[in-house]
Amino acid sequence: MDSFEWNKIFGAVLGTGLLVFGLKIVGSGLFSAEVPAKAGYAIAAAEAQTADAGGAAGGPKLSLGALLAKADPAKGEATAKACQACHDFSKGGANKVGPYLYGVVGRPMGKAEGFAYSEGFKAMGDKAWDYAALDQWLTAPKEFIKGTKMAYSGIHEDQKRADVLAYLASLSDAPVAFPAP
């Protein structure tokens, strides 16, 4: 074969390579085009939540009362296993890294006997834990009480949080009624 033949062969191989490469770029372009589309939905959902949190009427988000009405304390207990690293839930339970939580619903904030709370808790004054406050607290502890030393990021699913609240409600000699749906 003379060099002209070789050139044709090289040319063909190179051309095929470029074609494959080109297809890959186009392909990955198509593929990556889906990513922003998904991110777009996530943002839309987050915005919907923010709007609801701001008190907008309607929308698919259920009220706390409605979430509690269908809450499952057994599921809440399973989720609350993560709390037990720091909290005792039993009646007469002791303080651990965090305060004991038996009877926490309706209890004054930051008043478990013998527990040294952070400054943020002291600033809550005489407020008591109702379901709405516990719901906000467990959504994002550090936003609800600035400077809290509870190192827990929060439970971000509404129903999952309501299940935990229903479990906390059961840890009481006189359970506090759920708010109306």
What distance in Å separates the CA atoms of residue 106 and residue 101, rounded to the nearest whole number?
11
Q: How far is the CB of 98 from ligand HEC (least distance, A)?
A: 3
Residue 148 makes contact with ligand HEC by CB under 6 A: yes
Q: How far is the CB of 60 from ligand HEC (least distance, A)?
A: 25
Nearest of 74, 61, 32 to residue 169 by alpha carbon? 74
Q: Is 144 near ligand HEC (CB under 6 A)?
A: no
First vs last C-alpha separation in the chain: 86
Cβ at position 165, least distance to ligand HEC in Å? 8
Segment 57 to 86, residues that bind ligand HEC, using CB under 6 A: 80, 82-83, 85-86
Q: Which residue has the tokens 């988000």?
A: 61
Contact partners, residue 105, CB within 8 Å, separation at least 6 = 129, 130, 131, 134, 165, 168, 169, 171, 172, 175, 176
Site string for ligand HEC, 81-120 (x = CB under 6 A): -xx-xxx---------xxx-x--x----xx-x----xx-x
> Residue count at the site for ligand HEC (CB under 6 A)?
27
With binding defined as CB under 6 A, does residue 179 bind ligand HEC?
no
> What are the backbone dihedrals phi and psi of residue 105, each rounded to the nearest 5 degrees, phi first?
-70, 125
Q: Which residues contact residue 93 at a Cβ distance below 8 angstroms, ignoring those fewer than 6 apart?
A: 100, 101, 102
Q: Are 131 and 178 in contact (CB under 8 A)?
A: yes
Smallest separation (angstroms) from ligand HEC to the CB of 48: 25
Which residues lie near ligand HEC (CB under 6 A)? 80, 82-83, 85-87, 97-99, 101, 104, 109-110, 112, 117-118, 120-121, 134, 138, 148-152, 155, 164
